[in-house]
Amino acid sequence: MDWLLWLGLIVLLVVGATAAFYGYGFVARTRDEFRAAQPDLRITNMSAMSSGNVLTIYPELENVGGGVSYDCLLHMGGWEGSFAVKKIYPRGPRYQKHVASIVLGPDAPVRAKLINNGYVRLRYLDRWGLKYDCWYQVVQVRNEGDAALYNVQVDLEHPQLNDPHPSFWEMRKFLGTVPLYD
pLDDT in tens, 39-53: 999 999 999 898 888
139, β-bridge pairs: 153
Read off the pLDDT band of 149 (50, 70, 90).
confident
pLDDT in tens, 111-143: 888 888 889 999 999 999 999 999 999 988 887
Calculate the CA 63 to chain-centre distance: 9
Cβ contacts of residue 175 below 8 Å, gap of 6+? 30, 33, 34, 37
- The type of residue at 42 is R
All domains of the chain, ordered by start, with CATH?
A: 37-177 (2.60.40)
In this prediction, residues 14-27 reach a mean pLDDT of 90
In the chain, which ranges are E strands? 41-51, 54-63, 69-76, 83-88, 98-99, 102-104, 118-125, 131-142, 150-154, 160-162
pTM: 0.83
Q: Residue 146: what pLDDT?
A: 64
Read off the pLDDT band of 108 (50, 70, 90).
confident
In this prediction, residues 146-165 reach a mean pLDDT of 88
Q: Residue 168: what pLDDT?
A: 92
pLDDT in tens, 65-96: 999 999 999 998 878 778 888 999 998 888 88
The mean predicted confidence, pLDDT, of the chain is: 88
Q: Residue 114: what pLDDT?
A: 86
- What is the percentage of the chain residues whose pLDDT exceeds 70? 95
